[in-house]
Structure 1
Amino acid sequence: MDNKEYKKFYLIREDVLPESVNKTLEIKDALKKNPNLSIFEAVKQFNLSRSAFYKYRDTIFPVEEKQQSTKEFTLILYVNDVVGMLANVLNKVSEWRLSVLTIHQSIPMKNRATITLSLDATNTNLELDDVVELLKQIEHVTKVELISMTI
């Protein structure tokens, strides 16, 4: 389990962002305001390559856009196919006072499976990083990735 696979999040001032990231934010805003605007037209209008827009579009957002009163996130766990694995994970999640919003377990292939959990951490003092680290410690969990969150 490589800790470098988990991506940390940072708050950063707008004035130190590279021009391509700022333009990506402007394009996202323009697309939100005008649903008839295509990505091709928007990147042309703001003089940014489509590849740069696609590189940053899912990784940058204004904090106020994502602020919520709840702490919800979705994680994907890569696990060995062991009987009772899902039950074991859910027991741990319950011990940590996390609420399960959704669960999906893939069909095992080559003795491996994934468990996708959407969790609400409102009733716990644990932070996202804590939850990821605790899940990594469960036997037969080989990797944990964050796939979405609200803050």
Structure 2
Amino acid sequence: MDSKDYKKFYLIREDVLPESVVKTLMIKDALKNDPTLSIFEAVKQFDLSRSAFYKYRDTIFPVDEKMENTKEFTLILYVNDIIGMLAEVLNKLSALNLSVLTIHQSIPMDNRATITVSLDAKGTNLEIDDVIASLQTIDYVSKVELISMTI
């Protein structure tokens, strides 16, 4: 494979993206939601040049948009070492209609552990952000991160 043909992909939080990239995403969403809207009108509405829009439009997309067909992803949860913690996480995942593909719980150190779960979300219309937000509501879960996904 020629290295010029290979493109790396990155997951990056929206708050660190340049303004022109964020506006491109907003324009793409507006165009998707209103088929009568022209690109000229959309870029004018969001105060972005057409050249900037064309530069980014085929290179940036929301994670959930690319998950429409596969819906498989892996999360890592940082938790306190509390009896029943894994069961509570699994109960929450079941309530969200998520199927667990793989699961790993680390050996606790200093009363902290990690739980890594690979999930199949075909049984739900939830977006990744919704799943993460729901898992963060569990007592003694300090952080939840997306670490991989199938695209």
TM-score where L is the length of structure 2 = 0.58
In structure 2, what is the equivalent of residue 147 of structure 1?
147
Query: What percentage of residue pairs aligned between the two structures are identical?
Result: 65
RCO comparison, higher one (Cα < 8 Å, 6+):
1
In structure 2, what is the equivalent of residue 134 of structure 1?
134
Q: How does 1:8-47 map to 2 (within 5 A)?
A: 8=14, 15-16=55-56
In structure 2, what is the equivalent of residue 107 of structure 1?
107
Structure 1 residues 67, 111: CA separation in 2 closer, same or farther (over 3 Å shift)?
A: closer
Q: Which amino acid aligns with 2:92?
A: K
Structure 1 residues 127, 81: CA separation in 2 closer, same or farther (over 3 Å shift)?
A: same
Distance 2:78 2:98 in 1: 19
TM-score where L is the length of structure 1 = 0.58
Distance 2:54 2:72 in 1: 25
Q: Deviations over 1:53-112 (max 9, x none)?
A: xxxxxxx89x9xx66722011000000000010011001100110000100000000000
Q: Deviations over 1:31-66 (max 9, x none)?
A: xxxxxxxxxxxxxxxxxxxxxxxxxxxxx89x9xx6
Q: Deviations over 1:16-40 (max 9, x none)?
A: 49xxxxxxx9xxxxxxxxxxxxxxx
Asked whether the 8 Å contact 1:104–1:117 carries over to 2, the reply is yes
Which runs of 5 or more residues in structure 1 are unaligned?
1-5, 18-24, 26-59
Q: How many residues align?
A: 102
Q: How does 1:47-62 map to 2 (within 5 A)?
A: none
Structure 1 residues 144, 67: CA separation in 2 closer, same or farther (over 3 Å shift)?
A: closer
- Find the residue that maps to 1:108 and give its secondary structure: coil
- RMSD value, Cα: 2.9
| Residue 13 (structure 2) pairs with residue 7 (structure 1) | yes
How far did residue 125 of structure 1 move? 1.6
Distance 1:128 1:101 in 2: 16
